[in-house]
Homo-oligomer: A and B are copies of this chain.
Amino acid sequence: MKPVIILNFKTYLEGTGAKAISIAKACEAVAAETGLEIIAAPQLPDIYQVARSVNIPVYSQHLDGTTGGSTTGHILAECVKYAGASGTLINHSERRLTLAQIDESITAAVRTGLSTVVCTNNIATTRAAALLNPDYVAIEPPELIGSGIPVSKADPDIVTGSVEAVHAINPNVKVLCGAGISKGEDLAAALELGSVGVLLASGIIKAVDPKAALYELVSKV
């Protein structure tokens, strides 16, 4: 399986609007050259334009479990799909959901054929989330997010522990890790620890040259 890199654009101004398209194109170029799976997760209003501009998977940053109706301002799977997304993050540490909502959100994604990445904060919640049958869980210790200190270095045991726990409980689910990832050595370490890839954000989005930063990221694999 090819290593997977999910680039979360968050709401960084450096990854908004025209800049979102530009960074997504950089992802596409690096993916094409390296054969890696690189997924762009821009903001919701940017999904349409990004998805029309590149030939790599585009994910939403959030999905609600609504089946459509009286849920103003919620994010409907059918709408996200129509805009061009093929997957979604769920329960990111900056957009937490209740347990019932995570389950409903996965159900909505499955209903529409969207891939799912449930973000979690420790081994216990990773195991619980894996039981809900997402495509991926992404373990991210919240205290390391945006810290510049890679989880693969600061807390390698949480990665190997998550991989082992998920393997034992639901081997269909793939494990990503995130928080503090930005360099080639971080990605290489994440893969060595048994994860199938990484979820990252500021290290690329806020880089002076995001494309160069992406090349550096994939340089060790």
Chain A residues in the interface with B (C-beta under 8 A): 8, 10-13, 16-18, 43-49, 60-62, 66, 68-76, 78-80, 82-83, 85, 89, 91-103, 120-122, 124-125, 127-129, 131-133, 145-146, 169, 201-202
Contacts and interface: CB of A to CB of B under 8 A. Distances in A.
A12 B102 CA distance: 21
Nearest to A100: B121
Given A44-B44, A97-B99, A121-B100, A70 B127 contact: no
Contacts of A11: 66, 68-72, 74, 76, 79
A177 B191 CA distance: 42
Contacts of A74: 11, 94-95
7 contacts: A13-B76, A17-B79, A62-B72, A62-B73, A70-B202, A96-B98, A98-B98
B124 A72 contact: no
A102 B16 CA distance: 22
A98 B98 CA distance: 4
Contacts of A97: 98-99
Query: Quick one: copies of this chain in the complex?
Result: 4
A184 B109 CA distance: 39
B131 A45 contact: no
Contacts of A13: 68, 76, 78
A8 B85 CA distance: 23
Contact of A72 (B95, B120, B131, B132): B95
A17 to B, nearest CB: 4
Given A17-B82, A43-B79, 4 more contacts: A48-B49, A99-B120, A99-B128, A125-B132
Contacts of A68: 11-13, 16
Nearest to A96: B98
